[in-house]
A = this chain, B = another copy of it.
């Protein structure tokens, strides 16, 4: 708090330039913040509110887009290095001393590029939760290499406020001698048509019109949503461990999975909890990847039934007495060895009709690296985040996964809940998703020639929990009148489209409607909304479903197009 007060005292003197670094050493510890001047005024006007704003940048663990900023990184790097390497008159502290401060009781100290920081007070404000404690007593650099979201000026501004000393030159040299490696360097190549939302971890979606071109989304175009670097898994040495059951640990090789259990194939749509977040962002900025409408895809998945594997591992009537959840851990791990984790309710996992797969094929081929090679769990009807990739461990438990992604992230809150008031325990982890639909074509802003006379609108519709989409209503006049679109469950128009068994409609419907261009209109506001077989409907607008993480963004999709009167006649 001393440092903060010092910073506040400077405000009457107006913005400080970098030149002041030499003048007042105490000021130097504040100048990292000041070197990024655009946020300065806001900072002084609102006092601590900047920490809340920052929550947005940090939100979750590596969930925020650094993509738009990375173009500026190179030019800013020199200034930043200057800044952080500036030696102050603060005390010199040894790594041994830093290492003693690894708890809230003893204080939480970290180092970054030769500076020592006491971040004890920040721990509670860290949007990534307790993960920050992993860095206590040591260097931040390896963590920030993993969670590239931290590579932003705002984060450095925050950090600077907690500076208490300079790391001894000897210890600094030691740190620099440790070779830093980019944990994302072995990530697979991706198709250039994908539109990345972040590069490390890699998250990307295809152009929306690709989705409605094929009932089955080709794997290469299927949205990617990694939380950590893609692990390199050798299929020959791959082992899946099934734990928590009376029979002890069952360990299965990939061959075991393929030969010991019947192979099932399920066509299932996976959707990211944050799909369409960009539309919610227009109401008020939320924290998370700025997904368009294409963080969703439909694939065929083949593999062993989780139910069969659990039965083989000792699941039985006695287990039902205490088991409530099945936890999954990926082989994708952060620098401390903590794996990506999630869980699903036991009922879904063991139900005959739950169709949960330990999938080793996607669209008839080995699952690609970005989608979980060699094995991912596919939980039809459930949010993408629980469909754990690079599956390494399954644990039957009385408890949900304790992972950050289960406990804090991927939950929905009221529009009135903000980062000050959020109580993560007050909301259940997202499992089944609500009914959803979007228009894949035409795109926003398309100009349609009047002479075309007819307009074809296409899109997708899906609902969670195996609830079948039974209708999609389309409006061309902003919601005043509605027409019913044609639903498709196949690319072949002639297909008889046998309806899926009740409660097991895991795959989306594509839909299409061709309508005459309204003769008078110069602009159309096209809207779609879907209805599932529980007759749940999409909400009309985003503001009332706004939530601080920008998940569950399923209000009507609206696309405006113009009609051009120019017939091209000469």
A residues near B (Cβ < 8 Å) are 345, 347, 353, 412, 414-417, 427-428, 430-435, 464-465, 470-471, 473, 479, 481-484, 502-503, 529, 531, 533-541, 543-545, 552
Contact = CB atoms under 8 A, between A and B. Distances in A.
Given A412-B531, A414-B484, A464-B534, 19 more contacts: A345-B502, A347-B353, A412-B535, A415-B482, A416-B481, A416-B483, A417-B484, A427-B471, A431-B534, A432-B535, A433-B534, A435-B536, A465-B534, A482-B544, A537-B545, A538-B539, A539-B540, A540-B540, A540-B541
A417 B470 CA distance: 15
Contacts of A353: 347
12 contacts: A347-B502, A414-B483, A415-B482, A416-B484, A417-B484, A430-B535, A431-B533, A432-B533, A479-B544, A537-B545, A539-B539, A539-B540
A319 to B, nearest CB: 16
Contacts of A545: 537
Contacts of A543: 479
A334 to B, nearest CB: 28
Nearest to A273: B535
A8 B481 CA distance: 33
A432 B552 contact: no
Contact of A428 (B430, B470, B536, B540): B470
A473 B428 contact: no
A371 to B, nearest CB: 25
Contacts of A471: 414, 427
A282 B502 CA distance: 34
Nearest to A417: B484
Contacts of A533: 428, 431-432
Contacts of A536: 434-435, 534, 536
Nearest to A551: B535
A473 B539 contact: no
Contacts of A345: 502
Contacts of A432: 533-535
B347 A503 contact: yes
Contacts of A483: 414, 416
A20 to B, nearest CB: 43
A483 to B, nearest CB: 5
Contacts of A503: 347
A481 to B, nearest CB: 6
Contacts of A484: 414, 416-417
A34 B270 CA distance: 62
A18 to B, nearest CB: 43
B539 A433 contact: no
B470 A427 contact: yes
Contacts of A412: 531, 535
B535 A537 contact: no
Contact of A434 (B433, B481, B537): B537
B482 A414 contact: yes
Nearest to A421: B484
Contacts of A540: 539-541, 544
